[in-house]
Copies of this chain bind each other. A is one copy, B any other.
Amino acid sequence: MTEHSLWRFSRALHRAISARQYEDLEALIDDDVDWAIFGPIDMFPFLGARRGKAAVLEVCRQITDNVRLQRFDRETVMLGVDSAACMMRYSLTALDTDRPISLRLAQFAQFKAGRLSRIRVVVDTFDLVEQVMGHAIHLPKIA
């Protein structure tokens, strides 16, 4: 039984982000990949939408320049033939402040011939912003 594309892609992505080794990742991304991590791009320019392999590799380099990957846990995984959905937690360190960041996200990936062709990532962005700023943002209670 062939290994699911998710595991290969995931190993390559984490190798890129932890060890700045991009060769495996480059081989596993479709030339015309459609990529989006939803979040406030004013604060985090490496979030948002990208199209094509070069743009995605550049985003991965920018992420590597900003955070160190400490660990990750997949809380839920669903696999289709050429697709995967995961709910994940990441433990990161922000490189400029050395502050720990605990991130929850959901990722929906589509593969074509074993390469990533489409990905959508939803992040609990308010929690992320507060952690990176290092203090709570005052919010009114609405209900």
Chain A contact residues, CB within 8 Å of chain B: 38-40, 42-46, 62, 65-66, 75-76, 78, 80, 83-85, 87, 94, 96, 104-106, 108, 120, 122-129, 132-133, 137, 139-143
- Write out the residue numbers on chain B whose beta carbons fall within 8 Å of the beta carbon of A40: 126-127, 139
Supposing A78-B83, A85-B108, A87-B106 touch, asked if A142 and B38 sit within 8 A by C-beta, the answer is no
Question: How far apart are the CA atoms of A38 and B125 in the complex, in Å?
Answer: 10
Indicate if the CB atoms of A141 and B104 lie closer than 8 Å: no
Indicate if the CB atoms of A141 and B42 lie closer than 8 Å: yes
- Write out the residue numbers on chain B whose beta carbons fall within 8 Å of the beta carbon of A80: 78
Supposing A104-B122, A126-B125, A126-B126 touch, asked if A76 and B85 sit within 8 A by C-beta, the answer is yes
